[in-house]
A and B are shown apart, each in its own frame.
Chain A
Amino acid sequence: MSLAVSYNARYLITRKATTLLTLSGIALVVLVYVATLMLAEGLRQTLAGTGSVENAIVLQNGAQSEIQSGVTRAATNIILAEAEVARRPNNEPISSTDCVVVVSLKKSVDHKPTHATIRGISKHGLEIRPAVKIVSGRLFQPGSKEVIVGKAIHKRLTNAQIGSYIKLAGTEWPVIGVFDAGPTGFSSEIWGDVNVLMSSFKRDQFSSITFRLKDRADFAAMKRRLEKDPRLKVELKRENEFYESQSQGLADFIKLLGTVISVIFSLGAIIGALITMYSAVLQRTREIGILRALGFRAGSIFCAFSAECLLMALAGGVLGVTAAVLLSFVTINTVNFQTFAEISFAFRITPRIALQGLMFSLIMGFLGGALPAWRAAKVKIVEAIRTL
């Protein structure tokens, strides 16, 4: 009778609902997990890309970041005279003596203040960072108050567009260019002439010195020598390693937070899977009995139910990863509490992360399905058939 048919239809829908619910739970958890990994990866890419392995950077020893560091002119001269420093044909060192300062500027979206990084670079400061390109306008005139603004922030700050003026140290500095340093920390900075900046901010020490090494391999020996020199009181790092370590605090924080949350969530998802699978086993006890009576071994029953749960989990995983990919369109702006600087980074997905997400879903599927599958395998034929 059609009444019975419609009832069965409703019954099926309920079963689909259960599967969908459990699947969605797993998808959500995978989404959160993958999002965390993507965030950390985006952060890492941004800061690792900042800096090259060809360059070395010098800071005051013990300084945790460029803004805490001060290197005297005397020390600078000694260092730049060293043999390992690469030179131009005219014997000038390929280097940049930088002065880094953090100031408060207003955001364009709500006019609330945020911290921005100002970097004074020397004559060859752009050359030493070949990844940095001027994309509109031009480079500042040495000796002038002109500044160029990084692509990631030129829209985020008020008065940071070409033709506007940024207020620094009490005076107006014209913005005459925008540069793109790729997904690196530099893209969130404002660059100007180091000498002009230092005099305006009344500083007499550089924050850092970056120079090109003649040969990458020279680094270790040079580091040992310079760090021991009592006149200098400096420490040497490879440029890329240095900038990567700058995000260590923030990256660790995000990863730790994300991991804790993911673990808690995954417990929830596993429990959801357990509930679903146990009920499935209960419902199909008779079915299982018949299969066993037909000759299927307990092992195959176990595999069948495990596989069902794994499949459901995998489907959830795929859904979660797909949703996570959509996140790649989101950019995060936050302040790195280690450097005080605002950094902009995006959620970045890599094949490895996608795979990790799927593995995670499979683990949840396995954990959620193993016990119920084992119970299914243990079903005694006689009792099962008797069950109505």
Chain B
Amino acid sequence: MQEILRLAIRNCLRHRLRTMLTILGITVAMAGFVFIRTFIEAWYAGVKTTAKNRLVVRNAVSLIFPLPISYFNTITQVAGVEKAGYGNWFGGIYKDEQYSSFQQFAINSSYLDLYPELIINPLERLAWESNRQGALIGRQMAAEYGFKVGDIIQLKGTIFPGLWEFEVQGIFAAKSADYDTRLMFLHWDYLNERNRTEINRQPDHVGFYMVKVQDGFSPAEVAKAIDERFANSYAETLTESETVFVQGFISMLATIITALNIISIVVILIMLLVMTNTMLMSMRERYVEYAIMKSLGFEARHLYALLLSEALLISLSGFGLLSVIMAIAFSLPPQALLGDLAKFFPNITLTPFTVGAAFCAALVVAAISGSLPAYHITKLRVTEALRYIA
């Protein structure tokens, strides 16, 4: 009803400070909710960019043990293997950082063919292939650190100790926005060379093999076939789909993610507390007015609609304010907001699911906080209320 809506709006404007504070409270709580949910989703985003028909082959005994380079030929000949590549996780540190936000992999050339979702300029790739000390870096990483083609990146090796210098030959992007392009590709050959001569940390070994399964072949079966090839050998392999592999990493923090999920519910509770507080206060102040309306012939459902409208106006305003803030926040680079935390995430994007969840939360909170005082009102006896002298 128009009248009721008008009344609701005017009632909200009565105590402007209180209404604004409540809206602010809702906004803050929703911001917390969105932050937590976005965090959780960002953490799981890694799985989205994996492919089921890409397999990871690694040492069965332990993730940290390498596999011999000699396995490469054998793997490419297994039925169902369309293409294979290999690499080592380099784990270098840039400048004085405690942990670098970009990952470095020492790979062979065919590795790049396994990732059609990366957009690599063919000329840049050629340049990289002809420079042993060349590096291909991802767009996000380039943006974050301001690297350009031709820059020299100096890394301090941890697993492979020493000072390493690489020249940026190209910057690649990814087709999907979910893809984490804080990534740097180096040459495995260069790493192995130095490993053989200076470092001697299991040279001629790779950290993992990457395999693309041919269309028409079952990834599970190809994985099994690969492992069977190397059963009872010097280094047994464990082959699994990229999705399963990444999930293994993500589940490392499963407990903390659960805790965060719990906290996001607590946030909704806090929203509810703030709203209900305000609504109860408003109701108490206007008790007599409700009595008068009842005496005029307004029924419980009208008054309920009034209270609900007020609650909705407040919580939806909070949502509106939140939307404005989020729009600004997400157009900024992650560093500005999260500072150090940004290192731990691939991409921060606001998913429609999170927005929808926040909106639903706003509706639910309004409904509940409006219903509680409304219940009091429906029980209201006009005669008693009229005896009330504020």
Contacts and interface: CB of A to CB of B under 8 A. Distances in A.
Interface of A: 1, 3-4, 6-7, 10-11, 14-15, 17-18, 21-22, 24-25, 28-29, 32, 60-64, 67-68, 70, 101-104, 112-113, 115, 168-170, 201-202, 233, 248-249, 252-254, 256-257, 260-261, 264-265, 267-269, 271-272, 274-276, 278-279, 282, 332-335, 337, 340, 388
Nearest to B267: A265
B385 A7 contact: yes
Nearest to B231: A170
Interface stretch (B19-27, B116-124, B126-134, B358-366): B19-27
Most chain B CB neighbours (cut-off 10 Å) among A21, A256, A337: A21
A7 B238 CA distance: 74
B344 A253 contact: yes
Contacts of A11: 284, 388
B277 A275 contact: yes
Interface of B is mostly: helix
B58 to A, nearest CB: 10
B252 interface: yes
Interface of A is mostly: helix
Nearest to B388: A7
Contact of B62 (A102, A253, A254): A102
Interface string B243-287: 000001001111110001001001101110110111011011000
B64 interface: yes
A261 B142 CA distance: 30
Given A264-B35, A275-B281, A388-B390, A115 B63 contact: yes
Given A3-B383, A278-B17, A335-B252, A28 B266 contact: yes
The 5 nearest A-B residue pairs measured at CB: A335-B252, A271-B25, A264-B32, A62-B161, A21-B277
Given A102-B62, A102-B64, A275-B22, A265 B274 contact: no
Nearest to A15: B284
Contacts of B63: 102, 104, 115, 340
B263 A64 contact: no
Contact of B273 (A25, A168, A261, A274): A25
Interface in B137-183: 156-159, 161-162
Contacts of B253: 334-335, 337
A256 B99 CA distance: 15
A268 B281 contact: no
B384 A261 contact: no
Given A7-B388, A102-B63, 5 more contacts: A4-B387, A18-B280, A21-B280, A32-B263, A260-B35
A340 B274 CA distance: 42
A190 to B, nearest CB: 13
Contact of B91 (A1, A68, A102): A68
B32 A265 contact: yes
B324 interface: no
Contacts of A3: 381, 383-384, 387
Nearest to A259: B341
A17 B280 contact: yes
12 contacts: A21-B273, A25-B270, A62-B161, A64-B158, A102-B63, A233-B161, A252-B340, A256-B340, A267-B28, A275-B22, A334-B253, A340-B64
Interface string B219-256: 00000000000000011101000000000100111111
A209 to B, nearest CB: 17
A170 B63 CA distance: 15
Contacts of A64: 91, 158
B341 A256 contact: yes
Contacts of B278: 275
Contacts of B390: 388
B17 to A, nearest CB: 6
Contacts of A29: 270
Most chain A CB neighbours (cut-off 10 Å) among B17, B24, B36, B281: B281
B274 A275 contact: yes
Contacts of A388: 390
Contacts of B25: 268, 271-272, 275
Contacts of A257: 39, 256, 260, 341
A261 B21 contact: no
Given A201-B61, A252-B340, A18 B281 contact: yes
B341 A22 contact: no
A96 B242 CA distance: 38
A325 B341 CA distance: 28
A169 B235 CA distance: 9
A74 to B, nearest CB: 12
Contacts of B61: 101, 103, 168-170, 201
Nearest to A375: B17
B266 A334 contact: no
A243 to B, nearest CB: 17
Given A32-B266, A257-B341, A170 B64 contact: no
A332 B255 contact: yes
A265 B270 contact: yes
Contact of A24 (B251, B254, B273): B273
A264 B277 contact: no
Contacts of B387: 1, 3-4, 7
Given A6-B384, A60-B161, A102-B63, A279 B18 contact: yes
Given A62-B161, A68-B91, A256-B340, A268 B32 contact: yes
B65 interface: yes
B28 A271 contact: yes
B6 interface: no
